[in-house]
Amino acid sequence: MPGPVQIEGALDARDLKVAIVAGRWNDFIIASLLKGALASWARHGGVPGSLTIARVPGAFELPVAAKRLAATGRYDAVVALGCVIRGDTPHFDYVAGEAAAGLTRAQLDTGVPCIFGVLTVDTVDQALERAATSRMDKGGESMDVAIEMANLLRQVGR
């Protein structure tokens, strides 16, 4: 008797189109996240012209831009990059929470994976550690997830 059918998304970006939407708040951290995401895209064979990068003011604006990009049908995945630092903002919970909730809604409404590459941290040091490509490389990890999910959903079909 055959075993269960297992499906998994390959880490192969050669045939994919992806959009990155990135906030400008804490720009020095976003620069690291973007560096990692671009390196992952190249490492997995992504074509430079198949990647679109949209910039928005802050993490709170990520969901609406991600949803609009996803709804065009032109992208296999959207990667949202942002950084919310608790010490900087009394409305941390609103900005971080709404970014997470909004990105969840964007991907469920459109069926296009919208990856949560948003750092929600207490300090700048924590953000630097998570963003640095030589440390936790959250930007690279987010692009890896986008590529894997895009290929998985392609296999699943509509």
**Among residues 157, 56, 62, 155, which one has the least CA distance to residue 114?**
62
* Alpha helix stretches (DSSP H) within 4-137: 27-43, 62-71, 92-110, 124-131
Q: Say which amino acid occupies 108.
A: L
Across 11-50, b (16+ Cβ under 10 Å) vs e yields: eebeebbbbbbbbebbeebbebbbbbbbebbeebebeeeb
Binder of ligand INI out of 20, 51, 59, 112 (CB under 6 A): 59
126 counts as binding ligand INI under rule CB under 6 A: no
Residues 63-122 that bind ligand INI (CB under 6 A): 82-85, 88-89, 95
61 counts as binding ligand INI under rule CB under 6 A: yes
If the CB atoms of residues 13 and 29 are measured against ligand INI, the closer one turns out to be 29
SS3 state at 144: helix
Task: Respond yes or no: is residue 44 known to be catalytic.
Answer: no
Stretch near ligand INI under the rule CB under 6 A, chosen from 21-29, 46-54, 102-110, 123-131:
21-29
31 counts as binding ligand INI under rule CB under 6 A: no
57 counts as binding ligand INI under rule CB under 6 A: yes
| Smallest distance from ligand INI to CB 89, Å | 3
If the CB atoms of residues 41 and 60 are measured against ligand INI, the closer one turns out to be 60
**Exactly one of 91, 104, 122, 135 is catalytic; which is it?**
91
CA distance 78 to 69: 7
| Smallest distance from ligand INI to CB 118, Å | 8
Cα torsion angle, 59, 66, 153, 37, sign: negative
CA distance 158 to 155: 9
Q: Which residues are catalytic?
A: 91
The residues binding ligand INI (CB under 6 A) are 23, 25-26, 57-61, 82-85, 88-89, 95
